[in-house]
Structure 1
Amino acid sequence: MEITQILVLGIFLSTILGLVFSNKSPSLIFALATMTLLLTGSLEVNQVLSNLNNRGLVILVLLLLVSIGVDKSRIMKTLARKLITANKTLSTLKVLGISYFSSAILNNTAVVATLTGPLTHNQHIAPSKLLIPLSYAAILGGTVTLVGTSTNLIVDSFLIEHGQPGFRFWDFTLYGLTAGLSCCLLIYLLQGMLPDLKPRANEFKNYIIEAKVVDSSPLIGKSIEENHLRNLPELFLVEIVRKKQLISPVHPDTVIQAGDKLIFSGNIERVDTLDHIPGLSFFADSNGLLRENLTEVIITNRAPIIGKSLKAVGFRSMFDAAVMGIRRDGEKLSGKLGEIKLKAGDFLLLATGADFKTRPYLNNNFFLLNELKVEKKLHGWQDIIAVGGFLSAISLAAFNVLSLELTLLFLLVILVLTRVVSSNELKRSLPTNLIIVIVGALSLSAALENTGTIALLTDWLQPILLGSSPFMVLIAVYLSTLVLTELVTNNAAAALMFPFAWGISTAMNLPIMPFALAVAFAASASFISPWGYQTNLLVFSAGEYRFKDFVRIGLPISAAFSTIILFMLKWQYGF
């Protein structure tokens, strides 16, 4: 073994050890690995730069950016609000079904991030009974199509890098549907193994928010339960002001009437959820101010407005601002926002106008604390562009009318021009860490092959490989990837294992496709560890789970999924 091969193999093993045992981010570890390869001469700069143009990487980045607009759409907010009812069986099936099928075409991490809040704060079922099923169903749904998970796109990028045509959109579908739906049924049957935990207390600062039911609202004549007003993420309907009378507590069977003032308590950052409930107007809306940028202030102890209500002060005309919410530490507020008597130390969330910071009485009344960005509600036509455009882009690519990267790029331009997403949102959401991981993994793979390290290792394994059946070798590749994904995350596992899958298939003169599919499915099959997949990490904290909760239900799911996938590969490729 030459010195360069020893160096590259050492860097490869050090990368795995760093991912398993270090608390450093995968992007930093892969960046260090790439820099070391460059310094040792095992890799050239132009090879690293060329990896930035990888088709799979470009598609992945475009998908993540386009999903910003889809995630803001009314359809996603409405689905989340109507997901959970008092019927536990139906609610669980809806969680599994929506998570599974939406993850087949949307980024599954985005799906879980959108639905985690409503499930965590629902009033009917313990979140710990729902969040692991949500994550697992999203993982399974991601294996149905090329675009369902970043893992598939990473393996696709490696195929293209090695001169192969890459995956087609539907190459995963038969496997993903068969194994995925079978495992979703198993998740439902094993739900009793999940813990019944109470969610932890909310850590956000509770504001009270007022929303009026307008005369044309479709909420009128329906109960709180029927309008799904008890399933709002981090917001709780605490009382209703009706014709100067206070209804508190609010019962599920309370019927909404025109003119009702709904008083919510909770996280002001989730006010966009209320935006997507038709027929509600906010206290600040009547003042004609925009609410995308909110300013948090605290009332000083010598403020002239102390002891007066917002209406009595003439708040809008005095400060060119309208109050979105009020918070008072150590005291529960009640009633309409406009009639609450202000006190020193009260926190106000203000929708401000252009002249707010120039008003002469500002410093006498407030200390300015910070600005808060609230997601902008899409208009009806923007909703259509976001959701309809995404479905059209995926359909055109799925049926080979246009390339996927072209349709996504065209859609992203449209989303920016129609202001569904802003340039600032794109900058904030650019997946820099994921790009570094993929480029670093591609570079490490190139170094392993350029220096002949892969060829050398496969030569060493040649006697064992020749004495084994192709199916046993396929199982070994799958299980190695599966173990690695539970230890170092799905994307890293796919990137680190593909070069060996390529070398083994070449040495045995076997087609690469079954091995590529095995790596892709195994890298996604992270059901045992909460750290192996992004969706598991999202629900791990929200559900207050312990590691053993994942192991208990994840082992049978992993075994069932792996068995189905491996035997389907054996059946299709004749191993």
Structure 2
Amino acid sequence: MTFEIAFVLLSLLGMVIALILDKMRPGMVLFSVVVLFLCAGILTPKEMLEGFSNKGMITVAMLFLVSEGVRQSGALGQVIKKLLPEGKTTVFKAQFRMLPSIAFISAFLNNTPVVVIFAPIIKRWAQSVHLPATKFLIPLSYVTILGGICTLIGTSTNLVVHGMILEAGYEGFTMFELGKVGIFIAIAGIIYLFLFSKKLLPDARPDTAVPDEEVEDGEKLHRVEAVLGARFPGINKTLADFNFQRHYGAEVKEIKTRNGQRFVTNLNQIVLREGDTLVVMADDTFIPTWGESSVFMMLANGKDTEPVPGKKKRWFALILLILMIVGATVGELPVTKEMFPNIKLDMFFFVCVTTIIMAWTKIFPARKYTKYISWDILITIACAFAISKAMVNSGVADGVAHYIIGLSHNYGPHVLLAILFVITNLFTELITNNAAAALAFPLALALSQQLGVDPTPFFVVICMAASASFSTPIGYQTNLIVQGIGNYKFMDFVRIGLPLNIITFLISVFLIPLIWPF
């Protein structure tokens, strides 16, 4: 074993441990590892920085702004209200109306704003029709994930893998190519949720009684649920060290941790983590003041807090979104490429045009555009490209691929495809989906090259496995959001999510080689 291989393996092991322990944001953890590779001479400065100019990464950044424009248009809030049945209904009937439509929406928009808008509305609706919200919130998160795997823009992971494919010199995915297998996984997953979510998900877990309060001057304080985001300044601190009331003018009454525990006493001793939900008493100015802040992933007080602009703005935002999708799809057709040989009419082109139109027509506030971009995700993606390059340069990718092939040399590429799915899926449950894709991609490329087969099936299986984060609340941001507002425990995700992981695995390993032969 060479020094480079040993150094990269130890660095990757340390990276995975740091991500699991949540010592820093994923972007900074990956950036630290990239700097180590630079210092060791495994990466050149050019290779280290290539990810920051990758089209896939820039496309993700633009899609954050497009999703924000659709959110601020008020279109999503109006859609979910029309989907929710009025009057007496059942869990199955309500899910039948909601889940397929939400999956379709999430195929074209960032998952997080979809869940942030829909979750409080669904919880409030469930209470009004006397159904347990617990039967709807985990399915909400899961169907956004299932919808996201069906298109190139449905999740950042697909765009990351697409960018790595282009960097490796292969032809990337078209807009709906991943839907050839993704749609089957989504349909099977939704049917599974229809049949088993009522039985596997817990009955309603009532919120701890935190009544509204009257303060001395007669002002009313209301109960607000605040899900902590990555930029919350008290992350990894206790309430004793971070004075929440002094910073935000609200008193913490309860903490629901990302592990599913609930605390109403000794709150000052609890260490705060990203994804924890705080139940606070706040006045009417709290949500208007902090609703647009990135320190909270979601704020909910049982009322509508999303903007409701006029119909013209809603329709204009939706038309722009549809034109972006249609344009990127038509732009990939051979006849279009012949008509416009000097312009590459791909998703990158149309998402940039859509973003600029939304900014100049004030669909989202152009002066605040930096607030709507998740910079940590972008840095994670950019560093993922560099880590992937380091695995190739050092020989780690070839070495691990050779070892895996040696263990299963009698079974052929189908077994290797299954092994790659399991490895990628395990990483995505423990760390982050984009970091998982970064670790798996060079391995997939090396496996296909050593076997002498088409690498496309291996690339597709990475997209499916890296997004299939169902078994833990910490693997995917939307799972974290619904955990606190739904009062779920960690094992609730394991109970209903593990079979969904298995369903995704079986369909992927069976269908992908049929659609993209080795």
> For the superposition of Structure 1 and Structure 2, which TM-score range results when normalised by the shorter chain?
0.7 to 0.9
| Contact 1:31–1:440 (8 Å) recurs in 2 | yes
- Following superposition, the deviation at residue 493 of structure 1 comes to 1.1
- Following superposition, the deviation at residue 377 of structure 1 comes to 4.6
Which of the residues 387, 393, 397 maps onto 2:324? Answer: 393
Q: Deviations over 1:252-276 (max 9, x none)?
A: xxxxxxxxxxxxx87699xxxxxxx
Pairing 1:559-570 to 2, within 5 Å after superposition = 559-570=502-513
- Following superposition, the deviation at residue 423 of structure 1 comes to 2.4
- Following superposition, the deviation at residue 376 of structure 1 comes to 5.5
What corresponds to 2:239 in structure 1? none
Which secondary structure state, in structure 2, belongs to the residue aligned with residue 198 of structure 1? Answer: coil
Paired AA for residue 45 in structure 1: P
Matched, 1:151 2:157: yes
Which of the residues 356, 373, 376 maps onto 1:430? Answer: 373
- Following superposition, the deviation at residue 489 of structure 1 comes to 2.4
| Contact 1:206–1:267 (8 Å) recurs in 2 | no
Structure ID, larger Rg: 1
Which of the residues 441, 444, 448 maps onto 1:498? Answer: 441
Which of the residues 181, 191, 207 maps onto 1:200? Answer: 207
| Contact 1:63–1:107 (8 Å) recurs in 2 | yes
Paired AA for residue 171 in structure 1: E
Pairing 1:30-69 to 2, within 5 Å after superposition = 30-69=30-69
What corresponds to 1:10 in structure 2? 10
In 2, the alpha carbon distance for the partners of 1:55 and 1:349 equals 40
What corresponds to 1:105 in structure 2? 108
User: Residues 503 and 141 (structure 1 numbering): CA distance in 2 closer, same or farther, change over 3 Å?
Assistant: same
- Following superposition, the deviation at residue 8 of structure 1 comes to 1.6
In 2, the alpha carbon distance for the partners of 1:372 and 1:90 equals 32
In 1, the alpha carbon distance for the partners of 2:213 and 2:41 equals 56
Which secondary structure state, in structure 2, belongs to the residue aligned with residue 82 of structure 1? Answer: helix
Which secondary structure state, in structure 1, belongs to the residue aligned with residue 442 of structure 2? Answer: helix
User: Residues 375 and 419 (structure 1 numbering): CA distance in 2 closer, same or farther, change over 3 Å?
Assistant: farther
In 1, the alpha carbon distance for the partners of 2:155 and 2:321 equals 16
* Greater fraction of residues in strand: 1
Pairing 1:90-169 to 2, within 5 Å after superposition = 90-122=93-125, 123=127, 124=129, 125-169=131-175
What corresponds to 1:515 in structure 2? 458
Q: Deviations over 1:107-160 (max 9, x none)?
A: 222211211111122222211110111111111111111111111111111111
In 2, the alpha carbon distance for the partners of 1:95 and 1:476 equals 34
| Contact 2:402–2:447 (8 Å) recurs in 1 | no
Q: Deviations over 1:152-209 (max 9, x none)?
A: 11111111111112111111112111121121011111022110123425979789xx
In 2, the alpha carbon distance for the partners of 1:112 and 1:202 equals 25
User: Residues 266 and 7 (structure 1 numbering): CA distance in 2 closer, same or farther, change over 3 Å?
Assistant: closer
Which secondary structure state, in structure 2, belongs to the residue aligned with residue 406 of structure 1? Answer: helix
Matched, 1:489 2:432: yes
| Contact 2:50–2:382 (8 Å) recurs in 1 | no
User: Residues 379 and 204 (structure 1 numbering): CA distance in 2 closer, same or farther, change over 3 Å?
Assistant: farther
In 1, the alpha carbon distance for the partners of 2:515 and 2:210 equals 51
What corresponds to 1:82 in structure 2? 82
Moved more, 450-459 or 142-151: 450-459
Paired AA for residue 104 in structure 2: F
Matched, 1:473 2:404: no
Paired AA for residue 129 in structure 1: K
- Following superposition, the deviation at residue 386 of structure 1 comes to 1.2
Which secondary structure state, in structure 2, belongs to the residue aligned with residue 9 of structure 1? Answer: helix
Taking structure 2 as the reference length, what is the TM-score of the superposition?
Answer: 0.77
Which secondary structure state, in structure 2, belongs to the residue aligned with residue 511 of structure 1? Answer: coil
User: Residues 460 and 193 (structure 1 numbering): CA distance in 2 closer, same or farther, change over 3 Å?
Assistant: closer
What corresponds to 1:19 in structure 2? 19
In 2, the alpha carbon distance for the partners of 1:518 and 1:105 equals 20
Matched, 1:383 2:314: yes
Which secondary structure state, in structure 1, belongs to the residue aligned with residue 53 of structure 2? Answer: coil
What corresponds to 1:548 in structure 2? 491
- Following superposition, the deviation at residue 467 of structure 1 comes to 3.0
User: Residues 383 and 455 (structure 1 numbering): CA distance in 2 closer, same or farther, change over 3 Å?
Assistant: same
User: Residues 379 and 82 (structure 1 numbering): CA distance in 2 closer, same or farther, change over 3 Å?
Assistant: closer
- Following superposition, the deviation at residue 74 of structure 1 comes to 3.2
- Following superposition, the deviation at residue 421 of structure 1 comes to 1.0
| Contact 1:141–1:180 (8 Å) recurs in 2 | yes
- Following superposition, the deviation at residue 455 of structure 1 comes to 2.5
In 1, the alpha carbon distance for the partners of 2:3 and 2:167 equals 26
Pairing 1:413-452 to 2, within 5 Å after superposition = 413-452=356-395
What corresponds to 2:272 in structure 1? none
In 1, the alpha carbon distance for the partners of 2:291 and 2:72 equals 17
| Contact 2:38–2:48 (8 Å) recurs in 1 | no
Taking structure 1 as the reference length, what is the TM-score of the superposition?
Answer: 0.69
Moved more, 21-30 or 470-479: 21-30
Q: Deviations over 1:92-120 (max 9, x none)?
A: 11221222111111122221121111112
| Contact 2:473–2:480 (8 Å) recurs in 1 | yes
In 2, the alpha carbon distance for the partners of 1:2 and 1:131 equals 49
| Contact 1:59–1:405 (8 Å) recurs in 2 | yes
In 2, the alpha carbon distance for the partners of 1:61 and 1:206 equals 42
Paired AA for residue 384 in structure 1: W
In 2, the alpha carbon distance for the partners of 1:84 and 1:138 equals 17
| Contact 2:51–2:384 (8 Å) recurs in 1 | no
Which of the residues 159, 174, 197 maps onto 2:180? Answer: 174
What corresponds to 1:211 in structure 2? none
In 2, the alpha carbon distance for the partners of 1:392 and 1:34 equals 38
Paired AA for residue 450 in structure 2: A
Moved more, 74-83 or 9-18: 74-83
Paired AA for residue 74 in structure 2: R
In 2, the alpha carbon distance for the partners of 1:164 and 1:421 equals 36
Paired AA for residue 310 in structure 2: H
User: Residues 572 and 81 (structure 1 numbering): CA distance in 2 closer, same or farther, change over 3 Å?
Assistant: closer
Pairing 1:198-277 to 2, within 5 Å after superposition = 198-200=205-207
User: Residues 198 and 59 (structure 1 numbering): CA distance in 2 closer, same or farther, change over 3 Å?
Assistant: same
In 1, the alpha carbon distance for the partners of 2:454 and 2:438 equals 19
Moved more, 422-431 or 140-149: 422-431
Which of the residues 334, 338, 352 maps onto 1:409? Answer: 352
Moved more, 17-26 or 156-165: 17-26
In 1, the alpha carbon distance for the partners of 2:395 and 2:211 equals 54
User: Residues 372 and 497 (structure 1 numbering): CA distance in 2 closer, same or farther, change over 3 Å?
Assistant: closer
In 2, the alpha carbon distance for the partners of 1:348 and 1:407 equals 40
Structure 2 residues without counterparts, runs of 5 or longer: 215-221, 227-247, 250-281, 293-304, 337-344
User: Residues 42 and 202 (structure 1 numbering): CA distance in 2 closer, same or farther, change over 3 Å?
Assistant: farther
Which of the residues 190, 214, 229 maps onto 2:196? Answer: 190
Paired AA for residue 324 in structure 2: A
Query: How high is the sequence identity, in percent, across the aligned residues?
Result: 29
User: Residues 120 and 11 (structure 1 numbering): CA distance in 2 closer, same or farther, change over 3 Å?
Assistant: same
User: Residues 540 and 3 (structure 1 numbering): CA distance in 2 closer, same or farther, change over 3 Å?
Assistant: same
Matched, 1:558 2:501: yes
Paired AA for residue 166 in structure 2: I
User: Residues 202 and 141 (structure 1 numbering): CA distance in 2 closer, same or farther, change over 3 Å?
Assistant: farther
What corresponds to 1:216 in structure 2? none
- Following superposition, the deviation at residue 5 of structure 1 comes to 2.3
